[in-house]
Amino acid sequence: MPVNDSFHIYDTTLRDGAQQEGLNLSVQDKLAIARHLDDLGVGFIEGGWPGANPKDTEFFERAKKELKLKNSIFVAFGATRRPNVKAVDDALLGALRDSGAPAVTLVAKAFDRHVDLALKTTLDENLAMIKDSVTHLRSEGQRVFLDAEHFFDGYRSNRAYALEVVRTAAEAGADVIALCDTNGGMLPDELSQVVHDVLQASKARLGIHCHNDTGCAVANSMAAIAAGVTHVQGTLNGYGERTGNADLVTIIANLELKKKQLVLPKDALREAFRISHAVAEVTNVSSSARQPYVGISAFAHKAGLHASAIKVDPSLYQHEDPESVGNDMRMLVSEMAGRASIELKSVELGVDLGGDRELIGRVVDRVKDLESHGFTFEAADASFELLLLEEISGKRPSFFNITHWATTTERTTKSGITTKAEVSVVANGKEFTCSGSGNGPVNAIDNALRTGLKQFYPELEVLELTDYKVRILEGRLGTGAITRVLVETSDGKGEWNTIGVHENIIAASAMALEDALTFGLLRQGRKPE
């Protein structure tokens, strides 16, 4: 049973969320996401539509054997029986019956125009389809929910019929009738009034299913809950068709932190950040940095005024404790930085400035000067940490020094392009030249550096360049454009970001690479020369 059957958190990431453009889940992906959702402790996990396509059919077969849920109930999704077919003879209802899922959600038309144009049947037959399908699956021992599709549009068009859909489903034995804002066009005040009216006119237990086309999916869901629904549907990270579905992570955090309503197992909300990002890795859809509660920018502070206040009391500029959802407060270092920003950021990075006002002042001045020339340390923590270490000791941490580099790119065949780099380096008191090739000049320089330096620093073998971004900044004082390069590097245990800025893209890249390898060696415990 779910953590609390009096209120349902119902996840439809694996079905509705998977309809997002560019999101393609394998059966293995769906199994992995289901396990993450179970770890979060959602009450219900909707797995998809068995029998509708081979992938979902295979997923349900494997789920029977491989999916051992601790907290959640597994749900199969499908449609009511077809017009003028007995429920017991309907093949898709049979697939739901045989799915192995203890609960089933049936989708049914609640909009009279859809019954006429999409189902091409009568209003009475649609009600019979709902009644027969719910009754049949209930008699087979399955719990049944009903998604009243296009309910709010149907309510506007023909209130009496939309209410009859709810009444018919409830009397047939559906546990919950979820009112669906399928087109996502509702606003909170309007939706709340409709939900209130349906609750007054019906004895049914209601749920809510919102899409985000007006940007109000979470607000609409919260308004429906305030109006009395006890079952809320959504997707992790707001995945879904068009502009997405209601983000369940935000809804859950709002309920637990703002409304003090426990809807997950105790302390499970602290896993929200980890699980949100773990699922994003599986879907290969990058998380939004600005996602409420669990985005990496959700508790990030840039303005110096904010930093000064946060240093006194974090709650002055934070609506919740980031740890409540497993997130962290982050200080962003930029031209807006003041002394408090620098101090807080240094503490975050584990660098002790010792309250030295002169040192902190030098760092502030240097950051502002560098940012006026195109640097941006809010996206390059590793380069900023190297800057701090340089200001503390008076010397930049160094393991090697690049004295010369050259790259060549040539077309070798009709489709083949070869890029080579030659780099002169001083390391351990020796000057030598190393060469490498790659799929571009940056990759070639990176490979050349590693080839030459690994004789002194074998630790470089574990370092991998994982991301590379280039931005062309506008020219200053009539000069040419400035290139900013950001490099992300990993050692398998963590990632760090470095920056390079120059008129020349390859020079900027070499600067960022030098910082990346230097910081990587520090992480490996090496002492600078």
Going from the N-terminus, what domains does the chain have, and what CATH number goes with each?
A: 8-283 (3.20.20.70), 300-372 (no CATH), 401-523 (3.30.160.270)
Q: How many CA atoms lie within 13 A of 272 on its CB side?
A: 32
Give the DSSP H or E segment for 464: strand 464-473
- Give the model's pLDDT for residue 127: 96
Kindly tell me if the per-residue pLDDT of 110 is higher than 90: yes
**Tokens linked to 111:** 């909009």
Q: Which segment of 104-118, 200-214, 385-399 scores lowest on mean pLDDT?
A: 385-399
* Phi, then psi, of 489 in degrees rounded to 5: -125, 150
Mean pLDDT, rounded, for 413-439: 88
Q: How many Cβ atoms sit within 10 Å of the Cβ of residue 442?
A: 24
- Give the model's pLDDT for residue 284: 79
Kindly tell me if the per-residue pLDDT of 343 is higher than 70: no
Q: Which pLDDT band, with edges at 50, 70 and 90, does 129 fall under?
A: very high
Mean pLDDT, rounded, for 299-322: 61
Q: Which segment of 144-158, 280-294, 511-525 scores lowest on mean pLDDT?
A: 280-294
- Give the model's pLDDT for residue 333: 53
Q: Are 67 and 31 a contacting pair, CB within 8 Å?
A: yes
Of residues 104 and 465, more confidently modeled: 104
- Give the model's pLDDT for residue 336: 47
Kindly tell me if the per-residue pLDDT of 197 is higher than 80: yes
Q: Are 147 and 80 a contacting pair, CB within 8 Å?
A: no
Mean pLDDT, rounded, for 312-332: 70
Mean pLDDT, rounded, for 385-412: 88
- Give the model's pLDDT for residue 50: 93
Residue the block writes with tokens 């999409």:
118
Kindly tell me if the per-residue pLDDT of 1 is higher than 50: no
Q: Which pLDDT band, with edges at 50, 70 and 90, does 301 fall under?
A: low
Of residues 309 and 391, more confidently modeled: 391
Of residues 169 and 397, more confidently modeled: 169
**Short-list 98, 96, 93, CA closest to 82:** 93
- Give the model's pLDDT for residue 315: 58
Residue the block writes with tokens 């909170």:
188
Q: How many Cβ atoms sit within 10 Å of the Cβ of residue 225?
A: 23
Q: Which pLDDT band, with edges at 50, 70 and 90, does 492 fall under?
A: confident
85: exposed, middle or buried (Cβ count in 10 Å: 0-12, 13-18, 19+): middle
- Give the model's pLDDT for residue 329: 66
**Short-list 151, 255, 131, 237, CA closest to 194:** 151
Q: Which pLDDT band, with edges at 50, 70 and 90, does 410 fall under?
A: confident
Residue the block writes with tokens 């390079």:
500
Q: How many Cβ atoms sit within 10 Å of the Cβ of residue 494?
A: 8
Q: How far apart are the first and last CA of the chain?
A: 61
**Tokens linked to 265:** 């197992």
- Give the model's pLDDT for residue 477: 44
Alpha carbon of 301 to those of 317, 361, 486: distances in Å?
A: 9, 19, 20
Q: Which pLDDT band, with edges at 50, 70 and 90, does 330 fall under?
A: low
- Give the model's pLDDT for residue 515: 93
Give CA–CA dist 63/86, Å, rounded. 28
